[in-house]
Amino acid sequence: MTPPLPGLALLAGATGLVGREIAGQWPGPMQLLVRRAVPAPRPGLTIQVVDFGALPSLPTATLAFCALGTTIKVAGSQAAFRAVDFDAVLAFARAARAAGVQRFGIVSSLGASARSGNFYSRVKGEAEEALRGVGFEHLVIARPSLLLGDRTALGQPERAGERWGERVAGWLGPLIPAGYRPIAAATVARALVRTLPTAAQGVTVLDSAALQRAGAGP
């Protein structure tokens, strides 16, 4: 595993599939920004309950991970979805940059494009474009395909599409191109934890196939 950079790491979205894995895998000190109080997954983590619509000043930090995200079904409307997947993401990024963060990693989605005709993919793409303008020296964008993980353990409803995708992957396996196969949340987290501390200057985009490679192994 790549050793952490000196200093504090920030994480928004620690209660989701990928965020929970990042919190458990990151080997250094980390502050979790959450919307509701949760127990710390391991020693060395601190919890800060925040309103992403009115973020306070954040502590000085070296890097930040953003795993915020919801679905239109869970959010209840397109506007509520955008408030999380665009507004909260950008608010966290700006607060992190103001706290000194130069390395920022975001969990986006396969197919993200600001020009997409699909609302979900378009919002994800618009968030990516907005992040490019925040001023990070190193921006890592992860675009996983269908995520696999135990949502019930997080108190979240299972997603029919994810269950279906896992079954299809089990049936077809290697016949599915690597960039489209369902991917374990732990693999996505491992790829980000390994990549962000050493990413080259500029923007690094990891599609799902690259995430599989970078996050392979224990």
- The arithmetic mean of pLDDT across residues 33-56, rounded, is 89
CATH number of the 9-214 domain: 3.40.50.720
- The arithmetic mean of pLDDT across residues 53-65, rounded, is 95
Q: Where are the alpha helices (DSSP H) in the chain?
A: 17-25, 72-75, 78-82, 89-98, 119-132, 160-172, 185-195, 208-214
Distance CA 63, CA 193 (A): 11
Span 125-172, pLDDT tens digits: 999 999 999 999 999 999 999 898 774 655 555 555 555 555 555 545
**pLDDT at residue 52 greater than cutoff 60:** yes
Residue that wins the pLDDT comparison between 153 and 196: 196
